[in-house]
Amino acid sequence: MQRLCYSRVRKFDYSLNYKELDLRQHPELYAIGRGEQGVLLVEPYKSEILPHWRFKDPSTATVSADTIYKMFLAYLGQKDFVGADMARKFLQMGYTRSRRYANYRGGKKYDGPVPDDKKGQSGAHGREQLERQPEDPVKAESARIFKAKWDEAKVDPEYLRQKQAFIDRFG
């Protein structure tokens, strides 16, 4: 398997005006970042993928994960790495959000609101973590469905090739 140079991966830049940017036209402004960073910001991909992202129950999660994975493959076929990476992030987010709802009633992991200057970023931001609830088996199955597609996407040879080319070109 190909080894990627992660030390050269740029951090996600939250200071950019993503509402005004079209990263299909300006892929050089995209930063892979870590995990799901930017998943609900980067256009036009957010608007293309988000309407298909659902995890209410296993049948909904299956349709959603399959649709997003097909979008992932289509973006790869179009040599649109940013789109493929965003689809990968939505699959990852399907897993993490389903797991959160499986572990915490209502999906609420921390007490109190997220500070405005930290929205879209991960972490507790000074808030106290709530106690885990007994696992919700429906959401746990939704998480398993998304995890399988996310695992498939992140090791796809063409994805890895395009990712390395993107890192080599843009950092």
Q: Is 65 within a domain?
A: yes
Q: Is 83 within a domain?
A: yes
Contact between 138 and 98 under an 8 Å Cβ cutoff? The reply is: no
Q: Which residue type is seen at 151? A: D
Q: What is the pLDDT of residue 81?
A: 98
pTM confidence score: 0.83
Domain that holds residue 48: 6-107+134-170
Angle at 12 (CA atoms; ends 142, 63), nearest 5 degrees: 20
pLDDT tens figures, 56-91:
999 999 999 999 999 999 999 999 999 999 999 999
Q: Which residue type is seen at 135? A: E
Give the mean model confidence (pLDDT) for residues 121-142. Answer: 73
Reduce the DSSP state of residue 121 to 3 states and report it.
coil
Q: Is 122 within a domain?
A: no
- Tokens standing for 88? 């990968």
Q: Is 123 within a domain?
A: no
Reduce the DSSP state of residue 50 to 3 states and report it.
helix
Left if phi > 0, otherwise alpha if psi is -120 to 50, otherwise beta: which for 35?
Answer: left
User: CA 49, CA 123: separation in Å to the nearest integer?
Assistant: 24
User: CA 8, CA 40: separation in Å to the nearest integer?
Assistant: 23
The domain tally of the chain equals 1
pLDDT tens figures, 87-125:
999 999 999 999 988 887 755 556 666 565 555 555 555
User: CA 171, CA 161: separation in Å to the nearest integer?
Assistant: 14
pLDDT above 50: residue 1: no
Q: Is 119 within a domain?
A: no
Q: What is the pLDDT of residue 6?
A: 46
Q: What is the pLDDT of residue 4?
A: 47
pLDDT tens figures, 7-48:
456 889 999 999 999 999 999 999 999 999 999 999 999 999
- Tokens standing for 29? 């402004």
Q: What is the pLDDT of residue 2?
A: 45
